[in-house]
Amino acid sequence: MRRAALAMLAKNISPPNLSIMQDEGFTPSRIKTEVLSGLTVALALVPEAVAFAFVAGVHPLVGLYAAFLVGLITALIGGRPGMISGATGALAVVMVALVAEHGVEYLFATVILMGILQIIAGVLHWGKFIRLVPHPVMLGFVNGLAIVIFLAQLTQFKDPANPDAWLAGPQLIMMLGLVALTMAIIWGLPKLTKAIPAPLAGIGITAIIVIALGINVPTVGDMASIKGGLPSFHMPFGEGEGLYPPALLAPFNLETLYIILPYAVILAAIGLIESLLTLNLVGEMTGKRGGASQECIAQGTANVVTGFFGGMGGCAMIGQSMINVKSGGRTRIAGIAAALFLLAFIVVASPLIERIPLAALVGVMFMVVIGTFAWNSFQIMRKVPRMDAFVIVLVTVVTVLEDLAVAVVVGVIVSALAYSWQNARRIHANTRESASDPGAKVYEIEGPLFFGSAEGFSELFEVDSDPDHVIVDFARSRVVDQSALQAIEAVAGKYEAAGKQVVLRHLSRDCHELLSKAGHLMVDSDDDPEYEIAVDYSVRTGVLSGGH
């Protein structure tokens, strides 16, 4: 029942109504779909990048350059075609304290170091540890992320002239109406034609109506001007004024390293966790796997380059990735096109892009929210074990209250503790008399023996009332760690102190050698199989690094 329930949970992680398209090859039709999908993503990237730049306390171009550079490099060499990367809120909230205290040049230096750490993680293949994230954590991550995306859009309903005040009256009604119009177009257009990505059509039609009728609603230009030039190489270390005066360059010394290292570690961890979870989610939607280490290296390379070109760094963006997949983007062309379109907006098309109403972009993101949230999770939670349901809710809540990385770490820890506790309770023993050795008592151990079950294992034996000859059979158990070996040795010591003999059966050869060193035990080697388990034990140091 548990396996079937978890299989259902895994099946339903992918947002509904997103068809899985197989790669059709680079035909003209496929290329058109990829380019239009990239254009849609680029339009959605503009307000996001500007907003996250404001959160971090930096110039809007710092966010836009990060979205362009990180998006382009990860599209070229990333581990999952179809993913979109750029400046994100999860990183921006960490950066704000650094920028406020030390200035933007220290941020650029931090982003460079962050990228180096991510490259190291990729080279060491640490990305594979994302496999340890359980499905309930993934589902909670997806639901929490949908809520976060929704809440982030609410800031667009504030009055541009007075950021502390919300829109009201006719202006609010018009804003809501345009949002609803965009959502209706995105929902209905695919039923008529799939020649144009529905989100792009929603943005375009809504923008044309607003511009043609002169409707007074907040636009991209009300947030900030996105006009700028090409990003240029910039060294954040040295003396003098930085890229955005009056910020000073970061001195190239150990004091600077002490300042930026803690931020770089946190940013690298958050960026990789969010990117690898997005990689898994996009993989579920597109039917592709692998690429975790490659994605780590791509994210690191992108951040190193971005730091040297005046960008705030970034990671995978789940919302934009889902817009891309929903619009038909499946190859690297879509990500590359999105980055190039974004650069074109900055350099030559800023007057036009700044006239796009925010309502159209909010409508797109609201449809992303609807598609991201796993609505059937309420039904799933009634079928999976209670602990898994609790983890889903916990990760969702922590994602909303804290951030994605903290939520995932908390979810993994709680799931690991729950798993350990459940396995600790599985240890038990069946007792019988030995057929081959009359008068001997046999303990048939069942369940894993590890640190969590070591105490329960010790309580299975009745040393005082047992006969002089005792056999402990591990055919249905596995000895996992040093705590387990110590527990076996402790039990043997009790029998030795009582003048009784213990024979162990069905242990690996490595366990034989280790336990024999204790001097308390006899091992029946004739019926022990050769378990092909990797164990590296040093008798001199007494350290067990892994094994049976």
pLDDT at 517: 62
Length of the chain: 548
Confidence band of 369 (pLDDT split at 50, 70, 90): confident
With contact defined as beta carbons under 8 Å apart, do 355 and 221 qualify? yes
Mean pLDDT confidence for 297-305 = 97
Classify 434 as helix, strand or coil. Answer: coil
**CB contact set of 492 (below 8 Å; sequence gap of 6+):** 502, 515, 518, 520, 521
User: What does the alpha-carbon distance between residue 139 and residue 395 come to, in Å, rounded to a whole number?
Assistant: 8
Q: How many CA atoms lie within 13 A of 539 on its CB side?
A: 9
With contact defined as beta carbons under 8 Å apart, do 134 and 415 qualify? yes
Q: How many CA atoms lie within 13 A of 114 on its CB side?
A: 33
With contact defined as beta carbons under 8 Å apart, do 82 and 88 qualify? no
Give the model confidence (pLDDT) of 11-30 as tens digits: 444 443 333 334 446 788 88
pLDDT at 37: 94
Closest CA to 455 of 425, 476, 499, 435: 425
CATH 3.30.750.24 is held by the domain 428-544? yes
Helical (H) or strand (E) element with 168: none
pTM of the prediction? Answer: 0.74
pLDDT of residue 110 exceeding 60, the answer is yes
452-to-430, 497, 545 alpha-carbon distances in Å: 20, 26, 17
| Token representation of residue 147 | 């809520």
**What does R_g of the chain's alpha carbons equal in angstroms?**
29
**CB contact set of 166 (below 8 Å; sequence gap of 6+):** 157, 158, 159, 172
Domain with CATH 3.30.750.24 in the chain: 428-544
Strand partners, 248: 241
pLDDT of residue 544 exceeding 50, the answer is no
pLDDT of residue 290 exceeding 80, the answer is no
Query: What residue type is assigned to position 408 of the chain?
Result: V
DSSP conformational letter for 237: B
Of 222-231, 249-258, 504-513, 524-533, the least confident: 524-533
Closest CA to 367 of 327, 413, 313: 327
